[in-house]
Amino acid sequence: QLVEAGGGLVQPGGSLRLSCAASGFTFSNYEMNWVRQAPGKGLEWVSYISSSGSMIYYEDSVKGRFTISRDNAKNSLYLQMNSLRAEDTAVYYCAREYCANGVCYSDFWGQGTLVTVSS
Amino acid sequence: EIVLTQSPATLSLSPGERATLSCRASQSVGTHLAWYQQKPGQALRLLIYAASNRATGIPARFSGSGSGTDFTLTISSLEPEDFAVYYCQQRSNWPPLLTFGGGTKVEIK
């Protein structure tokens, strides 16, 4: 199970920290992603972190503002979001990446947490 | 950057009918393509991975095909619970960036 938390209403320029609690599997074995969906829109990848946390990537529009991290001892994934903009308003999902035989896909998703950036 | 284009944007069908959804990649992705189902208020559900492999627990009425740049998700006979939005997705080899198609909404006619 993946359960996101930490969403809410924040003013432009503000910060939020999202968390994703994992259970039912060995969290430390899996790469993870954050994916977002603006209201009425499609899915947009936000950030990736390797299973150990040593490799991290971001979508261009969030580079320098968002920070992904994980605590494998706590089975948790995080997304620190700073300098938030109206266009960051979205439901944020965490997703587990399953890789086998050179093929990777997001096999398990949380239900999402809504972030609203508005004054 | 690979762009995935899904068509049609909306598919209006009746229960029992066959649904054919398309996903076209701007360049070859081999068979590195997945399909997901999204229903309001629910977590996304993986349907198909590696273009044609059904995920665990996915009914046989769902099938995927294609390789390179053209992919298809087929629902052989629509059940009431299949009316939803469907997304295709690919992951680049390195860096491991995810790209999604714009989605196809399958609605009840």
**CA separation for the pair A76, B61 (Å, rounded):** 36
Q: Cβ separation of A106 and B34 shorter than 8 Å?
A: yes
**CA separation for the pair A110, B38 (Å, rounded):** 12
Q: Is A31 on the interface with B (CB under 8 A)?
A: yes
pLDDT band at B1 (very low <50, low <70, confident <90, very high): confident
pLDDT > 90 fraction of chain B, expressed in percent and rounded: 91
Q: Assign residue A8 a region (left: φ > 0; alpha: ψ between -120 and 50; beta: otherwise).
A: left
Token pair recorded at residue B78: 């629509």
- A68 contacts A49 by C-beta, under 8 angstroms: yes
Q: Over the stretch B26-45, which tens digit does the pLDDT of each residue have? A: 999 999 999 999 998 889 99
Q: Over the stretch A58-91, which tens digit does the pLDDT of each residue have? A: 999 999 999 999 999 999 999 999 999 999 999 9
Q: Cβ separation of B100 and A44 shorter than 8 Å?
A: yes
Q: Over the stretch A14-54, which tens digit does the pLDDT of each residue have? A: 999 999 999 999 999 999 999 999 999 999 999 999 999 99
What pLDDT sits at residue A110?
A: 97
